[in-house]
Amino acid sequence: MTDTGRTGPSALATAGRWLLAAAGLVVLFVAYQQWGTAVTHWQGQRDLRTRFTHEVATARSPGGTRRAPAAPYPGVGDPVGVIQIPSIGVDQVVVEGVQAAQLAVGPGHYPGTALPGQSGNAAIAGHRTTHGAPFYSLDRVRPGDVVVVTTLQGRFTYRVVRSSVVSPDDGAVLDASSTPELTLTTCNPKYSAAQRLVVVADLESPVAPTTPRPAASVAADVVGDPVHAAGTWVELAAALIALVVLVVAFPRVRRRSAPGSWVRWTSWLAVPAGVVLVLVVFASLDTLLPASF
């Protein structure tokens, strides 16, 4: 007697489908890194600019003069000021901190270095190819170009004096300086973090009073944010599990439900749910990846 019953897919075919799905997710994640993160950057810049504009207005008297030359030291995630590089079209709000969460929304000020406009080495890092790529064209900056940074203490003009390429673990570019200067860093070459591009500019404006850094802010550099990291891992694991369950259950529900039944129609809700879960996975991975400038 001939067996006409259909057998299920072989293990090799199943493995092949999962590998193709994984490859597709990798391609989509690369696309998310290039374009999806730009949305996060845009939203972050909008919020930071609103906050900074409000802080500037608060720091001035009704007559328009600054109330005090000193300014509070920004906390991690707070706006530091606005950096403008006319020669390459940069106009970005700088955020305090250079971890992944901060660099996702804009150029980040290295905690522990001088604040822009003050005495010493003020260092700022920025992405070059993802998260809005604020420093995409930093390699086009030449000696003599102007960099303007506006903080709560005023508007400060720097003049570029040199640029160089160093290894990514060269911490000397962040060393304290006896003269007021600005150091900008980003990854090099484009689409790689193998090297670090460094641009140094000297302050031409009068130096602003130094703002003491709170001890709690210094401790945060050492301790980091383990709670946030743990929460992100949990979020990633939960989203992955839910996505796998959805991918496995969705075809079975479709096959076993009768044509026209409410179960069959509502099963299509799995599609937008899957899209949301994929975006959650991508966002969690982006946060957990090592910060590359």
The whole-angstrom separation of Cα 83 and Cα 50 is 15
For 14, counting Cβ atoms within 10 Å of its Cβ (0-12 exposed, 13-18 middle, 19+ buried), the class is exposed
The whole-angstrom separation of Cα 261 and Cα 249 is 17
Residues in the chain, overall count: 293
Of the chain, the percentage scoring pLDDT greater than 90 comes to: 46
Q: Which residues of 39-74 are buried (b: 16+ CB within 10 A; e: fewer)?
A: ebbeebbeebbeebeebbeeeeeeeeeeeeeebeeb
The whole-angstrom separation of Cα 162 and Cα 201 is 7
On the question of pLDDT at 94 being above 80, the answer is: yes
For residues 79 and 151, the answer to whether their CB atoms sit within 8 Å is no
Q: Which two tokens stand for residue 253?
A: 């529900």
Q: What is the pLDDT of residues 271-286, one digit of tens each?
A: 788 888 887 887 777 7
Phi, psi of 187 (to 5 degrees): -75, 155
On the question of pLDDT at 34 being above 80, the answer is: no
Range of 145-149, 166-170, 230-234 with top mean pLDDT: 145-149
pLDDT in the model for residue 223: 38
* Average pLDDT, integer, range 82-110: 95
Angle between helices 11-31 and 270-288 in degrees, nearest 10: 60
On the question of pLDDT at 224 being above 80, the answer is: no
Lowest mean pLDDT among 47-56, 94-103, 282-291: 282-291
Average pLDDT over the chain, rounded to an integer = 83
Lowest mean pLDDT among 111-120, 142-151, 231-240: 231-240
Q: Which two tokens stand for residue 103?
A: 């660099």
Q: Classify the C-alpha dihedral 124-130-132-138 as positive or negative.
A: positive
- Predicted confidence band of residue 219 (pLDDT cuts 50, 70, 90): very low
Which of the pair, 36 or 42, is modelled with greater confidence? 42
* Average pLDDT, integer, range 207-236: 66
On the question of pLDDT at 105 being above 50, the answer is: yes
Lowest mean pLDDT among 17-26, 51-60, 121-130, 162-171: 17-26
Q: Mind listing the domains of the chain with CATH numbers?
A: 44-55+73-223 (2.40.260.10)
Which residue is associated with the tokens 């500019």? 201
Which of the pair, 132 or 239, is modelled with greater confidence? 132
Tell me the pTM: 0.78
pLDDT in the model for residue 134: 96
pLDDT in the model for residue 284: 76
pLDDT in the model for residue 106: 96
* Average pLDDT, integer, range 107-123: 95
The whole-angstrom separation of Cα 249 and Cα 270 is 9
Which of the pair, 21 or 107, is modelled with greater confidence? 107
Enumerate residues 6+ apart whose C-beta is below 8 A from 282: 28, 29, 32, 36
